[in-house]
Amino acid sequence: MTDARRVLVLNGPNLRRLGVREPDVYGAATFADLEELCRDTARRLDLHAEVRQTDDEAELVRWIHEAADERIPVVLNPAAFTHYSYALHDAIAQRTAPLVEVHITNPATREEFRHTSVVASVATGTIAGFGFTSYVLALQAIAAELAA
């Protein structure tokens, strides 16, 4: 597989706590389960997914810069940074390949502060509310964008 089929699956704060954090909201599956799903899905789509998670805004911005510099598509769950990180917005605005914003839950059905995404306007698209399937759909969208 060529490096041209590489996709970064980037995850923001608290997502490594999946399975422990609010299972009534996020379910019982773990971050390790999510990593496996993303890698398996990517493989089926002839992609190579690198799954990463950080609680550090600066590190997430650096990863977005890496993707822009290397023209790597991104599946991004910015988590809480979705609602206030203008640094992340500005980094994503520099993207050179498709970037799909994903959310496990549907932010529009949750607390009011979650209703606004400051990154959606610079993403290729947004997929939300389908649990881990949101990531599957995002990887399918990336594959379709690369094929177009």
Per annotation, catalytic residue among 26, 84, 89, 135: 26
Virtual torsion, Cα 11, 62, 86, 98, nearest 10 deg: -70
User: Is 114 known to sit in a ligand binding site?
Assistant: yes
User: Is 124 known to sit in a ligand binding site?
Assistant: no
User: Is 41 known to sit in a ligand binding site?
Assistant: no
Per annotation, catalytic residue among 84, 103, 115, 135: 103
Distances (CA, A) of 74 to 12, 121, 140: 13, 15, 12
Q: Is 103 a catalytic residue?
A: yes
User: Is 104 known to sit in a ligand binding site?
Assistant: yes
User: Is 77 known to sit in a ligand binding site?
Assistant: yes
Binding residues for substrate: 77, 83, 90, 104-105, 114
Binding residues: 77, 83, 90, 104-105, 114
**Active site members:** 26, 103
